[in-house]
Amino acid sequence: MKIRLFVSPCLAIAMLGLCSSLSSAQQYPMVRAQFGTLGGPTQPARLPAGMPMPTRSPGEPPRPVNYSLQDLIGLSLAKNPLLQQAGLNIQAAQGKALQAGLYPNPTVSVTGDELGDRTGPSGIWNVRAGQEIVLGGKLRLSRAVALREVDQATLVLRSRRYALFTLVRQGYFEVLAIQRRVEILEALANVAQTTVDQAEKLQKGGQVPAKDVLPFQVELGRLTAEFEASQRDLIAARRRLAAAIGDPNLPVGAVEGSLEQPFPSYKYEEIHYLVMEAHPDVQSAVVGIDRAELALRRAQVEKIPNVTVGSGFVRQGQNRSSDWLIGVSVPVPVFNRNQGNVQTASAQLGQARYEVSRVQNDLAGRLAGAHGQFTAAKKRADLYRTSVLPKATNYYELSVKGFKGGVGEYLGVLQAQRSMVEARLEYIRALGDAWRAASEIAGLTLEDEFPVQPMQVLPPGKKK
């Protein structure tokens, strides 16, 4: 009877804490832009307005700051070195394109010969100027090849941008899921500690035997071990998130948001078509074919010789005469007709054509894997929310009710509580898995706004 008297209040506390965490978001219609934004020119990275930044005194460790997903995305755009490198690669490609189309500089030479000769001490002076004339459209083709490289560098920047979004979003939802797990385990560990403290007091007073206290101590040890392990996982997840953002020293605290917001809707056929056509990696491969064709044409016209024209003036000191000269030189492509480079460019064109299929196959595999994981995790989360969790909660409530009424042992209550806790933790894990898979899909489909918030429908006549 004593054991029932001190356990019943603890059961009530546990019920309040657990049941409050079992509320799930209601499913409601949601309007979202189909496939997200296909994107445009990347805007200069700026920190979001009003973002909290850690302030500390010299020598003081950084203070953790709470961030929303949009805050973390803004920080990654400003801090991640991959984006900075990709932007500089565009500038380098633009400089290469500029240089590729520049005309050769003219040559000017002045020479003096036979200076100090007895018959003419002033010697012979030659002033000559020459210019290479590029034929065959070589400069135009060289610049066209380089401009395609600029296009590819721009697409690489876009691809890295959405890849970065994926990493940050997945890290965010990983932290959010572990954060929720820690909250649940902490609440249960506190309740278990209170129960053990009361049981030990009764044991010391001789009111209950030691064997009745052991189950509570075992349960407390199990919950404490899981809680501490989850805390370490949370620290590691926050560090991984900071590294994905591009600042490993960023003091990431709690992340703001909910795992139980409505999931996005993805139809595989539609997003598959979008990824195969619009993903920047595919577009870069298509541009690569155009570049390879131009490079082949450029190699073929290399055999067309350039013409060098020149003229000069000669002043002879011996006979005091002034002479003019003019010349034209053309290399004769007898042995070297650039046939080796033509063969190389032809093979590279074939490689570029296969590159499109290779990239599409890679993206198709990633999309299929992410969509399969999302569908399975979402189904698992829905099953836990609609069936497993309500049944586990009902089982626990019936066990508590029977125990209070003198029917059943408390070990049965502990088993029911453990089942409900494990169901809740599995539900959180399924939500986290679903959102991480959805983040992968959002990156492949180039979504700038993710998750898309449901449109708020206002009553007629009411303005926002």
Of residues 215 and 98, more confidently modeled: 98
Q: Average per-residue pLDDT in the chain?
A: 84
User: Which pLDDT score is estimated for 320?
Assistant: 79
All domains of the chain in start order, with CATH = 2-56+65-103+139-266+368-444 (1.20.1600.10)
Q: Give residue-wise pLDDT tens across range 293-314.
A: 999 999 999 999 999 999 999 8
Task: Look at residue 25 and tell me whether its pLDDT is greater than 50.
Answer: no
Comparing 80-84, 116-120, 372-376, 442-446, the range with the smallest average pLDDT is 116-120
Categorize the per-residue pLDDT at 170 as very low, low, confident or very high, splitting at 50, 70 and 90.
very high
User: Are the C-beta atoms of 243 and 55 separated by less than 8 Å?
Assistant: no
Confidence (pLDDT) at 28: 27
- Please determine, for residue 6, whether its predicted confidence score (pLDDT) is greater than 60: no
Residue 454: predicted pLDDT: 55
**Mean pLDDT along residues 153-182:** 97
Indicate if the pLDDT at residue 232 is higher than 60.
yes
Query: What is the arithmetic mean of pLDDT over 221-238?
Result: 94
Condensed to tens digits (0 to 9), the pLDDT of residues 118-154 reads 666 777 889 999 999 999 999 999 999 999 999 999 9
395: confidence class by pLDDT, cuts 50, 70, 90: confident
Q: How confident is the model at residue 40 (pLDDT cuts 50, 70, 90)?
A: very low
Of 28-42, 169-183, 245-259, 368-382, give the lowest mean pLDDT range.
28-42
Q: Is the pTM of this model over 0.95?
A: no
Query: What's the mean pLDDT in 273-277?
Result: 96
Q: What is the chain's Cα-based Rg?
A: 37
pLDDT of residue 215: 83
The answer to whether the CB of 295 falls within 8 A of the CB of 146 is no
In this predicted structure, the answer to whether residue 334 has a pLDDT above a threshold of 70 is yes
Lowest mean pLDDT among 419-423, 427-431, 443-447: 419-423
Q: Is the pLDDT of residue 270 over 80?
A: yes
Which region among 223-227, 260-264, 279-283, 397-401 has the lowest average model confidence (pLDDT)?
397-401
Query: How do residues 321-332 score in pLDDT, each as one tens digit?
Result: 888 999 999 999
Position 20 scores a pLDDT of 46
Q: Which residue has the higher pLDDT, 352 or 454?
A: 352
Q: How far is CA 406 from the centre of its chain?
A: 57
pLDDT mean over 400-425: 77
Share of the chain above pLDDT 90, in %: 62
Residue 16: pLDDT over 50:
no
Q: Are 389 and 424 in contact (CB under 8 A)?
A: yes
